[in-house]
């Protein structure tokens, strides 16, 4: 299993999830079909599935746009032209062929197993996808988190509550610590700047700051274990964070953290 990030706009990531032995791949959160296809061509892989984390246009927009592509020089993510290509997504995702829910499973190529984790809050239909290579049992794989979990941060609560975000991040926190995080946007620099104001004495946040300084692309450089050490939204029970928010209890602390981050201009 190999994951290739594709920057499809200023900060939006799509991904190719590649099964190396078969040279088959799924595209995660396609927005710009031509950019994704160009990378697929470079990698020498065939697109066999689409995966969408939630319905927001910057993650699902390519699904519907592909319905109107007819030239074979592009990959049309279209049921009518290519009925064998599934498009996986939650209940509100446009142009999906396969509705997925919490606990759902499917495969990519011969070796990649994907498990669906419902993580409502940013949107009600948000699904994170935990992908593992069945041929390498010792590895914990990676999780595509869309706009639920970012390196050092989390998504806004557009369609949910602080309690829901806490529950969703707790679900992700239960994955193996060495699970690699592939998020939906390059927001790391801003997230770590905010985290330093909340938990300034946390040495792990210093590591995240260094990572952001040294890498223009940070997705794929963090694990669930790392996030539990440096992501303030996953550390709601820490004294420093409760003091910074002036709140107690996961829901109240999460809600105040999100309010502070929304207004942060550092």
**Which residues are identified as catalytic?**
54, 56, 58-59, 122, 147, 185
3-state secondary structure the chain: CEEEEEECCCCEEEEEEEECCCCEEEEECCCCHHHHHHHHHHHCCEEEEEECCCCCHHHHHHHHHHCCCCCCCCCCCCCCCCCCCCEEECCCCCCCCEECCCCCEEEECCCEEEEEEECCCCCCCCEEEEEEECCCCCCCCEEEEECCEECCEECCCCCCCHHHHHHHHHHHHCCCCCCEEEECECCHHHHHHHHHHHCCCCHHHHHHHHHHHHCCCCCCCCEHHHHHHHCHHHCCCCHHHHHHHCCCCHHHHHHHHHHHHHCCCC
């Amino acid at each position: 299993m190999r994951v290739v990030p594709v920057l499809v706009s200023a900060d939006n990531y799509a991904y190719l999830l590649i099964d190396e032995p078969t040279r088959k791949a799924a595209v995660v959160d396609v927005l710009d079909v031509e950019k994704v296809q160009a990378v697929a061509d470079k990698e020498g892989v065939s697109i066999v599935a689409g995966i969408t984390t939630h319905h927001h246009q910057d993650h699902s927009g390519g699904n519907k746009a592909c319905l109107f592509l007819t030239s074979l020089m592009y990959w049309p993510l279209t049921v009518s032209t290519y009925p064998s290509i599934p498009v996986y997504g939650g209940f509100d995702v446009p142009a999906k062929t396969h509705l997925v829910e919490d606990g759902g499973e499917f495969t990519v190529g011969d070796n990649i197993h994907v498990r669906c984790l419902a993580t409502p809050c940013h949107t009600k239909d948000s699904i994170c996808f935990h992908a593992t290579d069945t041929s390498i049992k010792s590895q914990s794989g990676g999780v595509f988190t869309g706009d639920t979990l970012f390196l050092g941060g989390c998504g806004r609560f557009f369609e949910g509550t602080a309690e829901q975000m806490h529950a969703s991040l707790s679900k992700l926190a239960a994955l193996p610590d060495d699970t690699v995080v592939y998020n939906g946007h390059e927001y790391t620099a801003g997230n770590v700047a905010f985290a330093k104001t909340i938990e300034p004495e946390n040495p792990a946040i210093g590591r995240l700051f260094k990572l952001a300084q040294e890498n223009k692309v940070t997705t794929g450089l963090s694990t669930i274990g790392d996030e539990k050490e440096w992501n303030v939204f996953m550390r709601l029970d820490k004294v420093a964070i409760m003091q910074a928010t002036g709140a107690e209890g996961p829901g109240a602390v999460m809600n105040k953290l999100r309010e502070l981050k929304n207004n942060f201009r550092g």
